[in-house]
Amino acid sequence: MFNLKDDSKTSRRGMIKTLGLGLTFATLPSFMSSAMTEVSIDALDHGERIIPVKENELIEMQKFIEDCITANKESNPQEAVKEVLAKGVSNPSAMLKAIGEPTEAGLKVFLRSKNLTIFAASWTPQMNLMPHNHHMWANIGIYTGREDNIIWERSKDKLEANDVRCLFAGDVATLNINAIHSVTNPLQRFTGGLHIYGGDFFATERSQWNAETLNEEPSNGDVIRNIFKKANEQMIRMKND
């Protein structure tokens, strides 16, 4: 399933409190920043961890994160979280200001827990991601640039392209737990999207499919880190040419 939805204006954002409550933090994959602070989020369940970024960005993002955590407790969590996300990216320039302009391929993680992961993903100009799965539902909201998706389906022992969707700033897409998709940024500038997953994205073993042969391969932190590394190296080479 792959749907698009536009919603109304973004909700007013709340203020953040740094209270030093000793929240436990998850170990970050090595391609992410390890800088952490202690943050009070009343909506957090036991075991959920905020992985914060710059203080001004946290001020802008706290209400959004809280609303996502609350929505994830609804009877249809993916749909409820999608509504929060659609409202958040309905004003793409405001969300871009809150998150910050992307300058390289990578992930900016706002929340990681066993029930919910929220991060901003940045794609370099003309970056491609091979077909991959998540093993959990996903909502994606674009706040700058464009993201083209091919939706794949298993057919006997191979993959076949089933659908195509082009996501522009303000668009929201949903992927079910069995979805397989590949991603392209067709633009000569960065694309940024908020990605929300119904589980611990970083603790889940996943698969990817070779872009040329469509053979299934394992995907893990090392593989993802190498993809971002190559994309950033390619961007630097293009700038120097």
Averaged pLDDT, 6-11: 35
- Strand order of the β-sheet with 216-219 is 158-168, 146-155, 180-184, 128-133, 206-209, 216-219
| Confidence check: pLDDT of 91 > 60 | yes
Distance from chain centroid for Cα 220: 16
Tell me what pLDDT residue 56 has. Answer: 55
| pLDDT one-digit tens code per residue, 16-38 | 222 222 222 333 333 333 333 22
* Domain boundaries along the sequence of the chain: 49-240
Instruction: Report the distance separating Cα 222 and Cα 82, nearest Å.
Output: 29
Alpha-carbon distance of 191 to 127, in angstroms, equals 9
Tens digits of residue pLDDT in 185-230: 999 999 999 999 999 998 899 999 999 999 999 997 788 888 999 9
Tell me the per-residue pLDDT of 114-131, one tens digit each, with 9 for 90 and over.
Answer: 999 999 999 999 999 999
Average pLDDT over residues 56-77: 86
May I ask the CATH class of domain 49-240? Answer: mainly beta
* C-beta of residue 195 within 8 angstroms of C-beta of residue 134: no
